[in-house]
């Protein structure tokens, strides 16, 4: 049914689909508003109520616990296996494809591509068990590494860490890659915030030409690199056209460099309509985990070492994309495009 050009969802939608929509809706709302919401709540309680002891307790807890996010977080397997995440998976749906074994006695760095708007597949694959990570890669412990700013917000930081996320900082990666028992799989969304501005349906623009920090960490620890590509991630939202050189793109790049996170002007569908909203489209997403690239350990890698391994990694990523693109619904004429 359309009203003023807006196509509304019918009332007789099956309950299963309603639950799928609810699962994704809560995740998007949490990502966008829960952190700042918790922060503003604490400020309000501190300044305008008699419950000032609660935000003060949160501050004391943060000062005591602030390093946990750089020590692998505080994962909880019960939370990672919530039924909620299965509804989240089935909304699109999403699936995880394995192409090679990962040795549980070794630590790995997995480069995740592309970023998309919200990196929905990265969260679902690494921070939940909905796509069956532990069954496909037994004995390993996945960690999705995200911006350290996520862990500055009271309450939200503790909720977020239950999924096993950790900081994407040198200190955090050093700690996880130094674990002698092995099996640590560090998921790094290589393109970062800048790449979110390149997320347009049907396009495969990656910002990795200058992203070499994860390469250096792999060399220092001798950790194999694993390319990962999520086909369909950039099809979950539309984004206002922002070509290079445009006023909008220049402003977005300025804000990204200034504040560390990008402000893409995106839109998808709504909760009760199919025309406009903050919900992602129901588009299949297939995440393919490639084969490990062996890395020779070098405590002090030279720039040449870093550049050589980076080229090898990019070649493996291109190969992974080309081998699996047709079966994942990508036209044969489409190729990866690397932008600065």
Contact 239, 265 (CB under 8 A): yes
Predicted confidence at residue 10, as pLDDT, reads 84
Predicted confidence at residue 305, as pLDDT, reads 97
Please, what is the end-to-end C-alpha distance for the chain in angstroms? 44
Give the CA dihedral 187, 192, 196, 200, nearest 10 degrees: -60
Could you tell me whether strands 6-7 and 2-3 are parallel, antiparallel, or unpaired per DSSP bridges?
antiparallel
Would you call 164 helix, strand, or coil by DSSP? coil
Which residues, in sequence order, are bridge partners of residue 287?
Answer: 96, 230
H or E segment at 297? none
Contact 152, 87 (CB under 8 A): no
Strand ranges, E, within 85-140: 94-98, 108-113
Which residues, in sequence order, are bridge partners of residue 111?
Answer: 188, 227
Q: What phi, psi does 107 have (nearest 5°)? A: -100, 145
Which residues, in sequence order, are bridge partners of residue 132?
Answer: none
Predicted confidence at residue 258, as pLDDT, reads 82
Predicted confidence at residue 217, as pLDDT, reads 98
How many angstroms from the chain centroid is the CA of residue 85? 15
How many angstroms from the chain centroid is the CA of residue 3? 36
Cα-Cα-Cα-Cα dihedral sign, residues 64, 70, 76, 82: positive
pLDDT under 50: residue ranges of the chain: none
Reported as a single tens digit per residue, the pLDDT across 8-38 is 788 889 999 999 999 999 999 999 999 999 9
Predicted confidence at residue 261, as pLDDT, reads 76
**Count of CB atoms situated within 10 Å of the CB of 162:** 17
CA atoms within 13 A on the CB side of 241: 1
Predicted confidence at residue 7, as pLDDT, reads 81
List all residues 6 or more positions away from 211 whose beta carbon is below 8 Å from its beta carbon. Answer: 190, 191, 192
Reported as a single tens digit per residue, the pLDDT across 73-123 is 999 999 999 999 999 999 999 999 999 999 999 999 999 999 999 999 999
Predicted confidence at residue 4, as pLDDT, reads 64
């Amino acid at each position: 049914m359309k009203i003023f050009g807006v196509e509304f969802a019918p009332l007789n939608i099956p309950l299963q689909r309603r639950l799928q929509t609810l699962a994704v809706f809560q995740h998007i709302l949490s990502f966008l508003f829960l952190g700042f919401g918790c922060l503003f709540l604490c400020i309000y309680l501190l300044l305008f109520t008699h419950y000032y002891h609660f935000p003060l307790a949160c501050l004391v807890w943060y000062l005591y616990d602030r390093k946990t996010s750089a020590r692998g977080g505080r994962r909880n397997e019960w939370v990672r296996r919530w039924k909620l995440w299965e509804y989240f998976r089935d909304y699109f749906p999403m699936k995880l494809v394995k192409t090679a074994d990962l040795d549980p006695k070794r630590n790995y760095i997995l480069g995740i591509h592309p970023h998309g708007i919200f990196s929905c597949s990265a969260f679902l694959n690494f921070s939940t068990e909905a796509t069956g990570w532990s069954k496909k890669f037994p004995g390993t412990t996945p960690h999705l590494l995200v911006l350290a700013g996520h862990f500055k917000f009271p309450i939200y930081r503790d909720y977020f860490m239950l999924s096993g996320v950790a900081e994407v900082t040198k200190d955090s990666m050093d700690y996880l890659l130094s674990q002698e028992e092995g099996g640590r799989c560090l998921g790094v969304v290589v393109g970062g915030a800048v790449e979110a501005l390149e997320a347009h349906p049907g396009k495969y623009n990656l910002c990795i030409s200058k992203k070499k920090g994860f390469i250096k960490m792999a060399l220092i620890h001798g950790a194999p690199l694993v390319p990962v590509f999520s086909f369909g991630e950039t099809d979950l939202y539309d984004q206002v056209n922002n070509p290079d050189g445009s006023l909008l793109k220049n402003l977005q790049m300025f804000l990204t460099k200034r504040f560390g996170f990008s402000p893409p002007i995106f839109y998808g569908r709504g909760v009760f309509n199919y025309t406009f909203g903050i919900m992602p489209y129901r588009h299949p997403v297939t995440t393919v985990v490639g084969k490990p690239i062996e890395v020779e350990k070098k405590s002090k890698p030279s720039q040449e070492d870093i550049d050589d391994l980076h080229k090898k990694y990019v070649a493996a990523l291109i190969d992974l994309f080309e081998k699996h693109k047709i079966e994942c619904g990508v036209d044969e004429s489409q190729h990866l495009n690397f932008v600065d």
